[in-house]
Amino acid sequence: MPATLPIDRDPILRAPRRRRLWWSLPLIGLIALTASLCLHASIGDYANSAQFVDGKFRNTTPKPANVPEPSAKVMWDFFFNKPKNTEPHAPVPVHTLTRAELDAAPDRSLYRLGHSTILLKLRGHWWLTDPVFSERASPVQWAGPKRFHAPPIAIDELPPIRGVLLSHDHYDHLDHAAIQALAGKVEVFLVPLGVGDRLLEWGVPNTRIRQFDWWQGADIAGLRLTFTPAQHFSGRGVRDGNRTLWGSWVIDDGQRRVFFSGDSGYFDGFAEIGRRFGPFDLTLMETGAYNVQWRYVHMQPEETVRAHQDLRGGWLLPIHNGTFDLSMHPWFEPFERVLALGDERGIGIATPIMGERIDIDAPHAGERWWQSVVAESAVR
């Protein structure tokens, strides 16, 4: 069998860029059509919500006029002309978790499983945020952003889950296959308004779904869980934009408080959440997939740190990075930028390997594990 040629020598992959780009256009159209037709859900009317206006949810702060729309060039480059370093070219280290290890884990253990998927043990129960376990963050599994690494543990090996907290319905946060696989071992799904309608269509029983507007919450298994605002958007197809709500979560076990940001641009809501619920022992903050042209809905690292300070956070654990290629920046850049800012401002930054345990009572910095991946990629 002939050896595989490097990309720069492969006659197919060396085909003229223009020709390859045109081949890609029907593929993008097919993905969009699949999202529109195959994943349609009947979303309810939530006119009782102050956030729901003219049939759609909206942010508290309108998009400023001086914030540009993504230009045609940026979108062209995003799909067809990405730099090589937006994804790793060497294996990303993962600490493989076992059921036995989780069963033995003490209370207030936290594990980052990838992207924005966090596994927490609080008051003797396990909780998950935005569980994404599929190979791709996409409406289809044959195209779209592909994982840099496998999850540290498979869904069927997880212990029983007391609850899942969802921030919004984008593909890198709401994984259809994962929800269906988890349905049998999760007691309750806590979701934004409208997202529950999607889960119902996917077969999750109504009795296991609780929907929330901003500032609403619930007391479950010794935790106070409050759904709080974010500045973002929603949708899974071309016709359902902003039909479901988005937000963040405050997790309070009576002694420790954790904040989960979901996705958000920087806004004054962080300061309000900090006033109402802070200080936080640990913030899990979006730090990745940013671009100056979509900063209204995704924070730059400097804004992530500012939001953490608004929240009156202690330690900061950057999420929304290291798993999928969703922007134009180097895949490792979010870690470097947020660490530099943390050093400058005296903020503890935790960067665990995927699957590595963090003690919420006493977080640790962890290794700069991406640097060895970058170094290995450079010699390949």
Q: With 60 as the cut, is the pLDDT of residue 91 above it?
A: yes
* Percentage of residues in the chain having pLDDT higher than 90: 81
Q: What tens digit of pLDDT does each residue of 272-314 get?
A: 999 999 999 999 999 999 999 899 999 999 999 999 999 999 9
Contacts of residue 379, defined as CB under 8 A and 6 or more positions apart, other chains included, come to none
pLDDT band at 71 (very low <50, low <70, confident <90, very high): low
CATH of the domain at 342: 3.60.15.10
* Residue 165 lies in domain: 86-378
Where b means 16+ CB within 10 Å and e means fewer, 20-52 reads eeeeeeeeeeebeebbeeebebebeebeeeebb
Residue 176 φ/ψ, nearest 5 degrees = -55, -50
Residue 70, pLDDT score: 66
Residue 26, pLDDT score: 45
Q: What tens digit of pLDDT does each residue of 106-147 get?
A: 999 999 999 999 999 999 999 999 999 999 999 999 999 999
Q: Which residue reads 């958000």 in tokens? A: 264
* 66 domain residue, yes or no: no
More confident residue, 184 or 76: 184
* 155 domain residue, yes or no: yes
Domain count, the chain: 1
* 372 domain residue, yes or no: yes
* 257 domain residue, yes or no: yes
Q: What tens digit of pLDDT does each residue of 232-267 get?
A: 999 999 889 999 999 999 999 999 999 999 999 999
H, E, C per residue of 309-336: HHCCEEEEEEECCCCCCCCCCCCCHHHH
Distance of CA 73 to the CA centre of its chain: 26
DSSP code of residue 101: H
**Can you tell me the mean pLDDT for 198-213?**
97
* 100 domain residue, yes or no: yes
* 69 domain residue, yes or no: no
Q: With 60 as the cut, is the pLDDT of residue 373 above it?
A: yes
Q: What tens digit of pLDDT does each residue of 303-353 get?
A: 999 999 999 999 999 999 999 999 999 999 999 999 999 999 999 999 999
More confident residue, 19 or 362: 362
Q: With 60 as the cut, is the pLDDT of residue 27 above it?
A: no
Query: 3-state DSSP call for residue 87?
Result: coil
* 14 domain residue, yes or no: no
The rounded distance, in Å, linking the Cα atoms of 24 and 80 is 8
The rounded distance, in Å, linking the Cα atoms of 378 and 380 is 6
